[in-house]
Amino acid sequence: MNRWLTMTVRGMVLLAGLSVTLAAMGQQSEPAGVPDAPMPTAPKPMSDMKNQVTPGIGAPALPSPDAESQTVPTSSTSGPEAGASQSATQPPAATQAPAATGPDAGQPTPPELPAVGKGQDAVVSTIHAYTNFVLVPVTVKDSKGNLVAGLTFRDFRVFENNQRQALRLFTVDPAPLSIAYVIDQSVTEDVMAKVNNSLGAIQGALTPYDEVAVFTYNNGAKQATGFTGAQSHRLEAVLAITKATGREEGVPVNSGPLAGCSISTNGNCSDPNLQQGRSAGGTQFMMLPKEIHTLNDAILAAAVELSRRPAGRRRLIYVISDGKEYGSKATTKEVIKYLQTNQIAVYATLVGDSARWGEGYMSRFHLPFQMNDNILYKYASATGGSLDAERSLNGIEKSYAHIAEEARTQYTLGYISHQPAIDGRYRSIEVRVDRPNVEVTAKPGYYPTAQDQR
């Protein structure tokens, strides 16, 4: 009995000691204090995108660890609004250009300087914001004809109607090109053969972001294809089928036994092989038939198609021709006005007689009662384009790449016109560059229009 009682007491003591030990271990493993879980933060609404992404600039950069001096503290909150009360960072001082003084007094504040690759996005957003916004692509070359790079907005001054304009946009980002090629099929056979062989080099001067339309003309303009990708197989096929034989270079006969007409109508030669319109003379003599070169109509047809291209693309007409013009329904003055209204520049490669040294310059002068031997220089100077005169096949192929590079690597200046309304009157533009011995190429003026403000 005593032995059983003793064992029972010992068991109770062991159980009590084990309970005390477990309680002490539980107190040691429990931490001093457990923090509450973070409260969930609601995402920013889509309507607040204007505070998250700025058009033309993108999302704001994250603050760096050593940028504490550029951080402005804000009032702290707790709860769901804790994620929205972040510290507002100011842009680095390096991106804030000081106000211009002295010669730059006409530029009180620096223009918008988009980040690299965001220039064309800023162009489109600015065009949609201001109806009086004017875009001026500028090419700057040195005395040797090389493109001048590295200029800033401080080197440019823009005047409209002799009044200086403050720049609102400056970018050097290349723009995608919308090019309408106009191929002259009224040149002589030998020149046409060189042009045919050079057409395969057109795609090599373009990028996949460009788009191309092809027009041809001889006696009237024809559209070979609408706008298609510059590197597409469709363009390659169209360029192949646009090859022509050209005009036969023969010696006309207007006297002698071989010059008469066996069939006459009312005293006039009615030979169907000769041009209509009393140009063959009477029964006693034969006048030389006039050549037909409808260059104005071809450029106008290409310009109408280009005017429908969206804003933000550089609109170009590239003419491969000798520049002769006769027989068009549209006049040169009317076509130039249409080009200046729709922001279209004309570039060209002169071939044939107009590409000869000396003769190419003399062909610019118009002789009375004769056709125009070269009017392409008028289109180029009035729209801010340029010309290349090439006689060899290799030179024609190189001119494609040279002119495409020139049109792509331009300085893009933007300003808001001081004119209060779109009155349809011509406004002159003059661009000056504060560098010695440079050649500045830009459009000399424009006609205001609101058709791009969509």
Site of tokens 């006689």: 391
The model's pLDDT over 263-309, given as tens digits with 9 standing for 90+, comes to 566 655 555 555 444 444 444 544 556 788 999 999 999 999 999 98
CB 255 within 8 A of CB 285: yes
Q: At what angle do helices 376-383 and 332-341 cross, to 10 degrees?
A: 30
Please give the pLDDT value at position 40: 62
Query: What per-residue confidence (pLDDT) applies to 229?
Result: 93
Query: Do the first three CATH levels of 124-174+409-416+425-454 and 177-247+292-407 match, i.e. the same topology?
Result: no
Q: What is the pLDDT of residue 362?
A: 76
User: From CA 255, how far away is CA 244, in angstroms rounded?
Assistant: 31
Torsion of CA 296, 299, 301, 306, to 10 degrees: -150
Between residues 303 and 372, the one the model is more confident about: 303
* Residue 303 contacts residue 346 (beta carbons within 8 Å): no
Distance of alpha carbon 40 from alpha carbon 81, whole angstroms: 10
Q: What share of the chain is helix, strand, coil (3-state, %, to 5)?
A: 30, 20, 45
- Domain at 177-247+292-407: CATH code: 3.40.50.410
Q: Which residues pair with 445 in a beta bridge?
A: 428
Q: Which fold has domain 124-174+409-416+425-454?
A: Immunoglobulin-like (2.60.40)
Note whether 134 and 409 are within 8 A (CB): no
Residue 316 and residue 180 in contact, taking contact as beta carbons nearer than 8 Å: yes
Is residue 453 pLDDT above 50, yes or no? no
Find residue 350's DSSP bridge partners.
321, 389
For residue 16, count CB atoms less than 10 angstroms from its CB and return exposed for 0-12, middle for 13-18, buried for 19 or more: exposed
If you search the block for the tokens 């201001």, which residue do you land on? 130
> Would you list the domain boundaries of the chain?
124-174+409-416+425-454, 177-247+292-407, 261-289
Mean of the pLDDT values across residues 95-122?
60
The stretches of 130-219 forming alpha helices (DSSP H) are: 189-198
Q: What is the maximal distance between C-alpha atoms in the chain?
A: 166
Reported as a single tens digit per residue, the pLDDT across 60-84 is: 554 544 444 444 444 444 444 444 4
- Sheet harboring 439-441: ordered strands across? 167-171, 411-416, 133-141, 439-441
- Contact between 296 and 187 (Cβ < 8 Å): no
Over the chain, what is the mean pLDDT?
76
SS3 435: coil
Tokens linked to 340: 């200046």
Q: Which residue has the higher pLDDT, 390 or 363?
A: 390
